[in-house]
Amino acid sequence: MTGTGRPLIGVTTQTLQVIDGVPADLPPSWVMNQYYVRALVNAGAAPVLVPLISSDEPALRGVYENLDGILFPGGVDVDPDLYGGESKGKLDRLDADRDATELLLARWALEGKKPVLGLCRGFQLLNVAAGGTLWPDLAHDRPEMQKHDYFPSQGFTRSHLAHSVDVQQGTRLCDALGARHSVMVNSMHHQGIRELGEHLVPAAIAPDGLVEALERPGDSFAIGVQWHPEMFASGEQSVGRLFEEFVEAARQEDRR
């Protein structure tokens, strides 16, 4: 924990060059959307950006050991090769360095019971880290399912409430969302959970049956949601006190 009493929470990054339209002559860089950082600051954390340095595992482990919690944010697709996925559907750009770094961090954190929160891609990444699988492209692999890809590039705002999810009673997520049975969420993904990873349980389910939140039961904080709660203010229905409870869990982690 920092000297201010704020728990130190790592936010993983993304390689700038995998983003469409980035000039090729820019130096290799790591970046991340500010919304994730600001949500953590507002919840009482001291966020730090985590570089993608899986090629130097001791250095990455040194970063990990100093963190009280880790947030895995949204971003590009998780590589299907990491979970044996086969699809002839759409596949967005990949970030091999991010996949490798996040999988190491997620596995260390799940094993060591360090608090973790996964959002959109981060939700999917946590599932893969626990041995679960994904549908690489829902439109191709599960065409009977409802639309989930409400991307800004298709004319939607990032805060567009696309569909409801049924929140599973008795879960930690349900408590964080104010014991609501159903909430409206935004939706910007084309991959989705196929098989849940080991020791994970569904915490919210879309009307078409797709798992939209997961968690690991027990006394450690390990939650992932498919939507983007960082786009909304604390207390709104799809956020509740999710960030505050994550930050408090990280604060308790520092005191163990």
* Domains of the chain, residue spans: 8-255
Q: Is 232 left (phi over 0), alpha (psi -120 to 50) or beta?
A: beta
Q: Assess contact for 38 and 69: CB atoms under 8 A.
A: no
Write the pLDDT tens digit of every residue in 159-203.
999 999 999 999 999 999 999 899 999 999 999 999 999 999 999
The pTM for the full model equals 0.95
Share of the chain above pLDDT 90, in %: 86
Q: What are the CA-CA distances from residue 176 to residues 62, 90, 170, 180, 245 (Å)?
A: 31, 34, 11, 9, 7
124, containing H or E segment = helix 121-129
The whole-number pLDDT of residue 219 equals 87
**Annotated catalytic residue 160:** no
The whole-number pLDDT of residue 92 equals 80
The token pair at 136 is: 């690489």
The radius of gyration of the chain from alpha carbons, rounded to an integer in Å, stands at 17
Write the pLDDT tens digit of every residue in 42-90.
999 999 999 999 999 999 999 999 999 999 999 999 999 999 877 777 8
The whole-number pLDDT of residue 2 equals 60
Write the pLDDT tens digit of every residue in 119-165.
999 999 999 999 999 999 999 999 999 999 999 989 999 999 999 99
The whole-number pLDDT of residue 254 equals 57
Distance CA 55, CA 238 (A): 37
Which segments within the chain are labelled E, that is strand? 8-12, 14-15, 30-31, 46-50, 69-72, 116-119, 133-135, 163-167, 182-185, 192-195, 201-205, 211-215, 222-225
Residue 165's identity, in one-letter code, is V
Distance CA 122, CA 116 (A): 10
Asked whether the predicted pLDDT for residue 19 surpasses 90, the reply is no
From the list 230, 244, 245, 248, the catalytic residue is 230
Q: State mean pLDDT over 92-120.
A: 96
Task: Work out the end-to-end distance of the chain between its first and last CA atoms, rounded to an integer number of angstroms.
Answer: 11
The whole-number pLDDT of residue 128 equals 98
- The dihedrals phi and psi of 67, each to the nearest 5 degrees, come to -95, 145
**Annotated catalytic residue 228:** yes
CATH architecture entry for 8-255: 3-Layer(aba) Sandwich (3.40)
From the list 228, 245, 248, 253, the catalytic residue is 228
The whole-number pLDDT of residue 255 equals 58
Write the pLDDT tens digit of every residue in 206-247.
999 999 999 999 989 999 999 999 999 999 999 999 999 999
Asked whether the predicted pLDDT for residue 23 surpasses 90, the reply is no
Q: What are the CA-CA distances from residue 88 to residues 38, 91, 135 (Å)?
A: 37, 8, 11
The whole-number pLDDT of residue 213 equals 98
Better-predicted residue by pLDDT, 236 or 92 = 236
Distance CA 248, CA 256 (A): 13
What mean pLDDT, rounded, does the chain reach? 94
**Annotated catalytic residue 120:** yes
The whole-number pLDDT of residue 1 equals 62
From the list 102, 120, 215, 244, the catalytic residue is 120
Quote the Cα angle for 146-150-154, to 5°.
125
Distance CA 11, CA 71 (A): 5
Asked whether the predicted pLDDT for residue 4 surpasses 80, the reply is no
Q: Assess contact for 173 and 204: CB atoms under 8 A.
A: yes
